[in-house]
Amino acid sequence: MKIKSLGLEDVRSVEWNYNTQALQLVDQRLIPFRISFVQLSSVKEICSAIKEMVVRGAPAIGATAAFGIVQAIKEIENESSNNKKKMLDEKLKQLLKTRPTAVDLKNFASKTYEIAVGSNFSMKVTLERAQELADRMVDECKLIGKKGAELIQDGDTILTHCNAGPMATIDVGTALAPLFEANREGKNISVIVDETRPRLQGAKITAWELEQEDIEHKIIPDSAAAFLMSKGKINRVILGADRCLKDGTISNKIGTLSVAISAKYYDIPFYSAFPWSTIDFQSESSDDFDIEFRDEKEIKYVTSFEEEMLIANPTSNALNPAFDITPPNLITGYITSRGVLNRENLNKEILKETK
């Protein structure tokens, strides 16, 4: 993606630095106030970066975990053959425990782990596999952009929630990819950006990414979305997903369900955009989702440029679910690299994978 202030045109939020032999991330916590690249040279540091949301967004977390397995191979290379698998298993568990809801983390880490074990813990082969998964994700996001742009009409105003742009997806984006593509095609579009409490990924990151692409946009409080829908100010909703079940149920950033219910009531098309790795082929129902509850401090404080400010009654407790669950009857379609699919066609494509 572009970063105008640095004069850069091709930046990935997650990238293996072949010079330093370490994982390089853009610290998403500091956007838009500062663009900072961090180098991570241990599995412990990588796990901390995921937990603390230095990196966030399901595909970006997935790639980070894949490169985490590469780092694990580096750390065990001098161990005896008998110890290597045991130690790698433990490091895999550490990575998988960092954030429980998004399925990309498990999918990317597991695929890289399998290659690592199958190659007798070859650093070269494992790194090639992690890089391949990251590159494939970027290519898939480009297809999501092209397929999704076909839905967007000249003059549309699109609502998006949270952040599913280049920072969250290594590069290009999922929900934002169709907007970028439509803009490049010359369509006159405008974007309504939910601020996305409590961490404000929409107000901070999505708005910044849209600015990099010179796309007209306005930030709104999450609670204003239904009102704007009622006034005919929103033509369609496009957002991401952290997990999609075989029946089309999605889990996404908290607030997604509220947006979906409002869109259904006002007959506004609601689309979820995601790569194929976000599909959960194992879970049978949303009861299997492990919804992450984060520290109440995120609710009671706001952070701006690394400064925290208390905004709530200090002695009150808070609940901070990070995700919610949206059933398929509220979803118009799914924007994927295989096209814009309705629920029936999504099920057919998934069935092909499971046969």
Residue 199 backbone dihedrals phi, psi, to 5 degrees: -95, -5
| 242 among known catalytic residues | yes
Cβ(112)–Cβ(130) below 8 Å: yes
Cβ(25)–Cβ(13) below 8 Å: yes
- Two tokens, residue 322: 């990070």
- 125 contact partners, CB below 8 Å, separation of at least 6: 115, 116, 119
Sheet holding 37-40, edge to edge: 14-17, 22-26, 37-40
Strand partners, 310: 301
Marked catalytic residue, from 104, 171, 242, 280: 242
- Among all chains, which residue has been given the structure tokens 């601020």? 195
Q: How many angstroms separate the CA atoms of 347 and 82, rounded? A: 43
- Two tokens, residue 80: 């005896």
Q: How many angstroms separate the CA atoms of 349 and 326, rounded? A: 20
Strand partners, 135: none
- 132 contact partners, CB below 8 Å, separation of at least 6: none
Residues forming the active site? 242
